[in-house]
A and B are shown apart, each in its own frame.
Chain A
Amino acid sequence: MSVAISFKDIVKKYGDTTVIPELSLDIQKGEFFTLLGPSGCGKTTLLRMVAGFNSIEGGDLGFNDKVMNTVPPGKRNIGMVFQNYAIFPHLNVAENVAFGLQNRKVSKEEQQRRVGEILDTVQIEVYKNRMPKNLSGGQQQRVALARAIVINPDVLLMDEPLSNLDAQLRVDMRNAIKRIQREVGITTVYVTHDQEEAMAVSDRIAVMKSGIIQQVGTPRDVYQRPANLFVATFIGRTNVIEAQLEAGAEGKAVLRIGSSYTFEMPELLPEVTPADAVEVKISVRPEEFVLSEDGLGLTGKVVNNVFLGLNTHLVVELENGQEVEIIQQSAVSTVVDIGRKVTLAILSGTVNVYDASGERNLNRGAHL
């Protein structure tokens, strides 16, 4: 039985230090939800509050409509996957997976059946009788996952489960996790600091910083319409450039970058059509720059080029001295030599415009 999870004005304090000030969030039933943020942002703290390992100093944590604040971890019916797997080293694979079932007084036959089933699902049934020390990292990961979901938990919690694996395995495992979660349909809360991993597995992502949620949205939302500059720079790579927003013809907003480069911005919020010029910051992803053929755009000089197979990265120094990063498909162009003068145009439809503080996205359709 999956549940919806609600956080209402949740507060976490360690002594006098407030780590999470009044956080509210709703996670839907059956959703794969990811808490994403740099280390120390409070994502693990939040997860451990759901698990019951961290106390809650204010507000309510609810599973469906039941307040869970003081329910001990063992009674929450959660399945948890730990960063270091926390496999019991003295029990074999089957015994590890059966541990939670034994605590639930499930009959021997039932235990065997369910353990067999779940080992089949995570594809490690052949290692059933192995001891953990004879398993690879990825296999241990699967045991941890099987152990967490075999008890039919209401919520599956995962704390950076892939951070101890090497790069290739990480990609394989995240696909496996996503597939298994879809099969069993458990509400899942997933913690990671890896934005690519978050985008690969999640239905929705909450980006956190200093205990505060910066944005909640689908992977596409947080990448294409980041709510503020922090999200824009944390998710993917981006170039932040100073610009001015001016009133153009027919009350349309025009973005001016440097002295001569301007283009219309039709997709801004209605209230931001300015009479006088205002300072703004724009976030341009490396792939949103194109080398201009018609001479219109920002002029600069190539200072570095890196060929990476599929893509080529260019670093261009603009006239004001700022360096920006550009990604081009290697196939469509030859490598641009260092020192060459280039003109960069921006794909105006995708660029994000922020107020001068970087706190607010001025594009239409970029809300929390």
Chain B
Amino acid sequence: MSGRMKRLDIWSLITFIIFAGYLVFLALPLFMLLIKSFFDGTTGEFSLAYFHKFFSKAYYMNAVWNSIKVTVSVTLLSILVAGPLAYIMTVAKIKGSATVRILILISSMSAPFIGAYAWILLLGRSGVITTFLSSVFGIRMPDIYGFSGILLVLTLQLSPLIFMYVSGALKNVDNSLMEAAESMNCTGLRKMWKILVPLITPTLLAGGLLVFMRAFADFGTPMLIGEGYRTVPVLIFNEFISEVGGDDGFAAAISVIVVLFAVAVFLVQKFVANRKSYSMSALNPIEPKKLKGFANVAAHAYVYLFTLLALLPQGYVAYTSFLKTSGKIFVDGYSLDSYRAAFSKVGDSIYNTFMMASITIIIITLAAVLIAYVTVKRKGAVANVLDTFTMLPYIVPGSILGIALLVTFNKEPLVLSGTAVILIAAFVIRRLPYTIRSSAAVLHQVNDSIEEAAISLGASTMRTFFKITVPMMISGVFAGAIISWISIITELSTSIILYTGNTRTMTVAVYTEVVRGNYGVAAALSTLLTAITVVSLLLFFKLSGKKEVTM
């Protein structure tokens, strides 16, 4: 029974402070972006010129079509690749499946552009595989630059998300449903199509949306491997960076269009998913069975091949980081030159990353605990708005949030551009949702009566919160914080907009070194990032006792 007394207490104050934070660092910047897009940059008058320019020139519309093509293809391909993968891993006994799951997870945690650059090293014009095949067999590999390269990189990068989503859903499908279908003579593919696919459709939609948004917003991959294949994030970046001061109004206008588009996709997904949702929990989950003969070989081949391809980029980058270099070129032999160079040339970026990520994660942990509590246990109008605010970063691409923050905080009264504060604010806003969701998930399990018990025993609101509630949700908080942490240190699309010489992060350094062709240093830094990610993930598994991550 509900009916908690509405009291003006410390929680109202906390809610208000968090709310104010979101208003200043999310709502206001997005609003400023909207204003900027509707007013002429030089005259300051209201004008639709930016929008007119965008929709009338084939150059810009072309980028939109490119983006849509990439995004839709990546989403569909990810589902086609990872759906069967999850199914196989659920129904079939695969040797080393626990390790495979962790490896797939690790592959999804790196920054996508590192994949792009690794695939260039492998399959590019002078890539190792390309040269090997052409010199030994005389086979010419198809061109990896442009659409096909982006598709390859993003699909391999994002399909693990679908894999994790679908695996989770399949775990909740009760085996008796399958047996019931079989008892009614519905077997094989027909059983899958009639029973399994409808049951996991909501999950496919949710995972699909996540992949869609990430592919749509990704900036580093098309920038590196696209070679002139312009997508919208590339367009925005070019407009904004190349014409600073002059025409950032136009970048704002594109951003507004992109956000509206993303919101529309989000709402359609929500509408469809709501009509198709089931609540399931399996008493007897599907047990993996040992397959026989060809099916067994095929299942293993599929799983191992995918894992290999997904890990290949990071693996190869790590390998090259230990190669001897001469100038920018890799030469025969192994050395730690690249690491030495990385620490001496861009050591500050390592320091910056750790410093800013640490501050961010402290703020995120505090805020997530409070927000999760307010939205789960103190339902109300304000809590609902807060909930929506925390969802926004899923929809607003990172580069757009970067631009929005920059146009808002580059003038009085609050000049933050060029400081670490603006980067930290962006990180907090973008990576907070992981920790909130993980904390809220635990909190949902905590029955209201636990708090009521504490209060009835004479504990104050704050004592109840700190002595009872926080200890109970702490595992979820830490688990979420680790995921936030990993996603902060691998963040590129916002940092590339917001960084200056003093606040360069590791991912920005990797990106710029790759662009300059300094592959050794880039590889060393990337490998460092991967190492931190792996260590953090191991910590996550240890702390949460889980074998998977909810994104």
A binding-site residues for B, Cβ under 8 Å? 14, 44-45, 48, 51-55, 72-80, 82-84, 86, 88-90, 99-100, 103-104, 147, 151
Q: How far is the CB of B378 from chain A (nearest CB, A)?
A: 15
Q: How far is the CB of A245 from chain B (nearest CB, A)?
A: 43
Q: Which of B1, B5, B457 contacts A151 (CB 8 A)?
A: B457
Q: Which of A53, A83, A89 has most chain B Cβ within 10 Å?
A: A53
Contacts of A53 in B (CB 8 A): 3-5, 452, 456
- Interface pair B455/A74, CB less than 8 Å apart: yes
- Among the 9-residue stretches B30-38, B458-466, B484-492, the one with 4 or more Cβ atoms under 8 Å from chain A is B458-466
Q: How far is the CB of A90 from chain B (nearest CB, A)?
A: 4
Known: A86-B447, A99-B457. A73 touches B472 (CB 8 A): no
**B77-93 vs A, Cβ < 8 Å mask (1 yes, 0 no):** 00000000000000000
- Interface pair B447/A100, CB less than 8 Å apart: no
- Interface pair A55/B450, CB less than 8 Å apart: no
The 4 A-B pairs of least Cβ separation, nearest first, read: A100-B457, A103-B458, A86-B453, A86-B449
Cβ-based interface call for B291 (8 A): no
Q: How far is the CB of A103 from chain B (nearest CB, A)?
A: 4
Q: Which of A83, A88, A89 contacts B454 (CB 8 A)?
A: A88
Cβ-based interface call for B413 (8 A): no
- Interface pair A103/B463, CB less than 8 Å apart: yes
Cβ-based interface call for B468 (8 A): yes
- Interface pair A82/B453, CB less than 8 Å apart: yes
Whole-angstrom distance between the alpha carbons of A218 and B452 in the complex? 31
- Interface pair B450/A88, CB less than 8 Å apart: yes
Whole-angstrom distance between the alpha carbons of A54 and B456 in the complex? 13
Cβ-based interface call for B333 (8 A): no
A-B contact pairs, 18 of them (CB 8 A): A14-B2, A51-B456, A53-B3, A54-B1, A73-B455, A74-B456, A77-B458, A79-B456, A79-B457, A80-B456, A82-B449, A88-B468, A90-B471, A90-B472, A99-B457, A103-B463, A147-B457, A151-B457
Q: Which of A74, A83, A89, A90 contacts B449 (CB 8 A)?
A: A83
Whole-angstrom distance between the alpha carbons of A89 and B459 in the complex? 17
- Interface pair B450/A86, CB less than 8 Å apart: yes
- Interface pair B449/A44, CB less than 8 Å apart: no
Known: A86-B449, A88-B454, A151-B457. A48 touches B1 (CB 8 A): yes
Contacts of B458 in A (CB 8 A): 74-75, 77, 100, 103-104, 151
Contacts of B450 in A (CB 8 A): 86, 88
Known A53-B3, A74-B459; further 17 A-B contacts with Cβ < 8 A: A51-B452, A53-B456, A55-B5, A74-B460, A75-B458, A78-B456, A86-B449, A86-B450, A86-B452, A88-B472, A89-B472, A90-B472, A99-B457, A100-B458, A103-B463, A151-B457, A151-B458
Contacts of A48 in B (CB 8 A): 1, 3
Whole-angstrom distance between the alpha carbons of A55 and B6 in the complex? 9
Q: How far is the CB of B252 from chain A (nearest CB, A)?
A: 44
Within 8 A of A (CB), among B423-468: 447, 449-450, 452-460, 463, 467-468
Whole-angstrom distance between the alpha carbons of A103 and B447 in the complex? 21
Question: Interface SS of chain B: helix, strand, loop or mixed?
Answer: helix
Contacts of A55 in B (CB 8 A): 3, 5
Contacts of A45 in B (CB 8 A): 1, 3
- Interface pair A99/B454, CB less than 8 Å apart: yes
Whole-angstrom distance between the alpha carbons of A88 and B473 in the complex? 12
Contacts of B447 in A (CB 8 A): 82, 84, 86
Within 8 A of A (CB), among B1-58: 1-5
Contacts of B460 in A (CB 8 A): 74, 103
Q: How far is the CB of B466 from chain A (nearest CB, A)?
A: 12
Contacts of A80 in B (CB 8 A): 452-453, 456
Whole-angstrom distance between the alpha carbons of A88 and B4 in the complex? 20
**B472-512 vs A, Cβ < 8 Å mask (1 yes, 0 no):** 10000000000000000000000000000000000000000
Contacts of B455 in A (CB 8 A): 72-74
Contacts of B471 in A (CB 8 A): 90
Q: How far is the CB of B544 from chain A (nearest CB, A)?
A: 16
Contacts of A72 in B (CB 8 A): 455
Whole-angstrom distance between the alpha carbons of A83 and B452 in the complex? 12
Whole-angstrom distance between the alpha carbons of A103 and B452 in the complex? 14
Contacts of B3 in A (CB 8 A): 14, 45, 48, 53-55
Q: Which of A75, A76, A88 has most chain B Cβ within 10 Å?
A: A88
Q: How far is the CB of A30 from chain B (nearest CB, A)?
A: 20
Contacts of B459 in A (CB 8 A): 74, 99, 103
Q: How far is the CB of A12 from chain B (nearest CB, A)?
A: 8
Whole-angstrom distance between the alpha carbons of A78 and B450 in the complex? 15
Contacts of B2 in A (CB 8 A): 14
- Interface pair B452/A82, CB less than 8 Å apart: yes
Contacts of A147 in B (CB 8 A): 453, 457
Contacts of B467 in A (CB 8 A): 99
Whole-angstrom distance between the alpha carbons of A44 and B452 in the complex? 14
Contacts of A82 in B (CB 8 A): 447, 449, 452-453
- Interface pair A44/B1, CB less than 8 Å apart: yes
Contacts of B1 in A (CB 8 A): 44-45, 48, 54
Whole-angstrom distance between the alpha carbons of A269 and B18 in the complex? 68
Q: How far is the CB of A287 from chain B (nearest CB, A)?
A: 37
Q: Which of B4, B449, B456, B463 contacts A84 (CB 8 A)?
A: B449
Contacts of A100 in B (CB 8 A): 457-458
Whole-angstrom distance between the alpha carbons of A77 and B460 in the complex? 13
**B87-108 vs A, Cβ < 8 Å mask (1 yes, 0 no):** 0000000000000000000000
Whole-angstrom distance between the alpha carbons of A44 and B457 in the complex? 19
Whole-angstrom distance between the alpha carbons of A90 and B470 in the complex? 10
Contacts of B452 in A (CB 8 A): 51, 53, 73, 80, 82, 86
Whole-angstrom distance between the alpha carbons of A76 and B457 in the complex? 9
Q: How far is the CB of B426 from chain A (nearest CB, A)?
A: 35
Contacts of A14 in B (CB 8 A): 2-3
Contacts of B453 in A (CB 8 A): 80, 82, 86, 88, 147
Whole-angstrom distance between the alpha carbons of A76 and B456 in the complex? 8
Q: How far is the CB of B163 from chain A (nearest CB, A)?
A: 32
Whole-angstrom distance between the alpha carbons of A145 and B460 in the complex? 21
Contacts of A89 in B (CB 8 A): 472
Whole-angstrom distance between the alpha carbons of A45 and B458 in the complex? 21
Contacts of B449 in A (CB 8 A): 82-84, 86
Contacts of A151 in B (CB 8 A): 457-458
Whole-angstrom distance between the alpha carbons of A74 and B463 in the complex? 12
Q: How far is the CB of B379 from chain A (nearest CB, A)?
A: 14
Residue in chain A with minimal CB distance to B457: A100
Q: How far is the CB of B436 from chain A (nearest CB, A)?
A: 21
Residue in chain B with minimal CB distance to A89: B472
- Interface pair A103/B456, CB less than 8 Å apart: no
Q: How far is the CB of B457 from chain A (nearest CB, A)?
A: 3
Q: How far is the CB of B473 from chain A (nearest CB, A)?
A: 10
Whole-angstrom distance between the alpha carbons of A82 and B1 in the complex? 13
Residue in chain A with minimal CB distance to B454: A99
Q: How far is the CB of B462 from chain A (nearest CB, A)?
A: 12
Q: How far is the CB of B476 from chain A (nearest CB, A)?
A: 13
Whole-angstrom distance between the alpha carbons of A72 and B458 in the complex? 9
Whole-angstrom distance between the alpha carbons of A6 and B305 in the complex? 74
Residue in chain A with minimal CB distance to B446: A89
Whole-angstrom distance between the alpha carbons of A51 and B5 in the complex? 12
Residue in chain B with minimal CB distance to A104: B458
Residue in chain A with minimal CB distance to B447: A84
Whole-angstrom distance between the alpha carbons of A144 and B39 in the complex? 65
